Amino acid sequence: MDRYEEIRAEIEANPRRWLVTGVAGFIGSHLLETLLGLGQDVVGLDNFATGYRRNLEDVVRGVPDGKNRFHFVEGDIRDSDTCLSVSQDVDTVLHQAALGSVPRSILDPALCHAVNVDGTFNMLIAAKEAGVRRFVYASSSAVYGDSPHLPKREDVIGTAVSPYGLSKEIGELNAEMITAVYGLETVGLRYFNVFGPRQDPRSAYAAVIPQWIRHLLRGEKCVVNGDGETSRDFCPVEHVVQANILAARGAIEGPGQIYNVGLGGQTTLNQLYRLLRDGLATDRPELAGLEPDYRAFREGDIRHSLADTTKIRTALGYEPRIPFAKGIERTLAWYAERSGLLEAEMRSVA
């Protein structure tokens, strides 16, 4: 039995009360699903700025007795009273609530700061006041900014190139300060490019994988920003769930630790596009040979990203189990099965 399975067994044998912020979102709903499946009591907080009620309904419907062990609060992390209220009698916080997207942060830096910096600070203070045992929070590979070093190692970061990247860096610094001054155990997880089922393909700021899948399912051209040789470390969401569970219950190296969460591999946008197109073309032969629309590079984007996962593997026993291609295959199947529902929701919102 590996470390992840050992901790899952320990969690299942000793149920606790968890708080997941951003619970109706992509990653938050996967964390909720895992925790309910392990017999835990979960408090979930979300304001539906980027999350969806259907994500919560999908999770609760698929977990026996899940509804009885899940308490949902509709609220905003920018409200300190709400943060304190939901943190009461909680053992562990998994803080996922944020406004993602580099382009969105450039268009509205004030909102980015209010949610990602002030909101995270509110949650840290609330957790400290409520006596939470450990606070695990979502950071981002965006904190590496303009650092040219590959692979990205936790102790070498550059200068922020977007308000989003800076907001995540400030979140890390605030967590470090709260740990040093007040003793709250904090663990930061720098997510690289996470993908999988339930990732929203409909927003103007959608991540590249769900956005491209949606366009291809509609027979539309996908937009590539730049020459397509920009590369990313794409990570299936199951590995992010594993990292959160390990960080929540594992023996950390010391206070205020930060770990990369990725696959430790590079995929260019051109490679990604061909994999998505060819995967869908099996059942949709009209997609074969469809080429993307190449446009200018996007402001704030970094050229290459690759996670060094040595630290989290060594310290926490993190072990990615799903290869990139297999993760894409699963993701394509999920979106293809639900494409009609997603389009119907799009029309109803419009």
CA distance 236 to 233: 10
Q: Which helix (H) or strand (E) holds 344?
A: helix 324-349
Summarize pLDDT for 40-97 with one digit per residue, the tens.
999 999 999 999 999 999 999 999 899 999 999 999 999 999 999 999 999 999 999 9
pTM attached to this predicted model: 0.95
pLDDT at 345 exceeding the cut of 60: no
DSSP 85: H
pLDDT at 299: 81
Burial of 15: CB neighbours in 10 Å, binned 0-12, 13-18, 19+: middle
Task: Look at residue 111 in the predicted model and tell me its pLDDT.
Answer: 97
Bridge partners of residue 82, in order along the sequence: none
The CATH superfamily assigned to 3-193+236-263+307-321 is NAD(P)-binding Rossmann-like Domain (3.40.50.720)
Q: Which residue has the higher pLDDT, 299 or 125?
A: 125
Nearest to 287 by CA among 275, 278, 297: 278
231-232 vs 293-295, strand pairing mode: unpaired
**% of the chain residues with pLDDT over 90:** 88
Let me know if 164 is a catalytic residue.
yes
pLDDT confidence of residue 350: 42
Distance CA 137, CA 120 (A): 9
Average pLDDT of span 301-329: 95
155-202: pLDDT as tens digits: 999 999 999 999 999 999 999 999 999 999 999 999 999 999 999 987
Rounded-to-integer distance, Cα 152 and Cα 190, Å: 10
Given pLDDT bands bounded at 50, 70 and 90, which one contains residue 302?
confident
Helix (H) or strand (E) holding 178: helix 163-182
Model pLDDT, residue 338: 83
First to last CA, the chain: 49
Q: What is the 3-state secondary structure (H, E, C) of 10-66?
A: HHHHCCCEEEEECCCCHHHHHHHHHHHHCCCEEEEEECCCCCCHHHHHHHHHHCCCH
Could you tell me how far CA 256 lies from the centroid of its own chain? 20
pLDDT tens per residue across span 197-245: 999 987 766 789 999 999 999 999 999 999 999 999 999 999 999 999 9
pLDDT at 9: 97
Cα 102 versus chain centre, distance: 14
- β-strand 223-225 against 257-261: which pairing, if any? unpaired
- In sequence order, which residues have a C-beta less than 8 Å from that of residue 194 and are 6 or more positions away? 26, 27, 207, 235, 236, 237, 240
- Indicate the range of 2-16, 219-233, 287-301, 320-334 predicted with least confidence: 287-301
Contacts of residue 200, defined as CB under 8 A and 6 or more positions apart, other chains included, come to: 26, 50, 52, 206, 210
| Phi, psi dihedral angles at 261 (to 5 degrees) | -130, 105
Say yes or no to pLDDT of 277 above 70.
Answer: yes
Predicted confidence at residue 349, as pLDDT, reads 45
Peptide bond into 151 cis (omega under 30): yes
Distance (Å, whole) CA 37 – CA 324: 25
Is the per-residue pLDDT at 346 higher than 60?
no
Within 13 Å, how many C-alpha atoms sit on residue 169's CB side?
17
Domain ranges of the chain: 3-193+236-263+307-321
Catalytic choice (164, 259, 273, 318): 164
Distance CA 276, CA 287 (A): 10
Is the pLDDT confidence value at 124 over 80?
A: yes
Query: What are the structure tokens assigned to 80, written together?
Result: 């300190």
Write out the two tokens for 329.
């295959």
Contact 186, 256 (CB under 8 A): yes
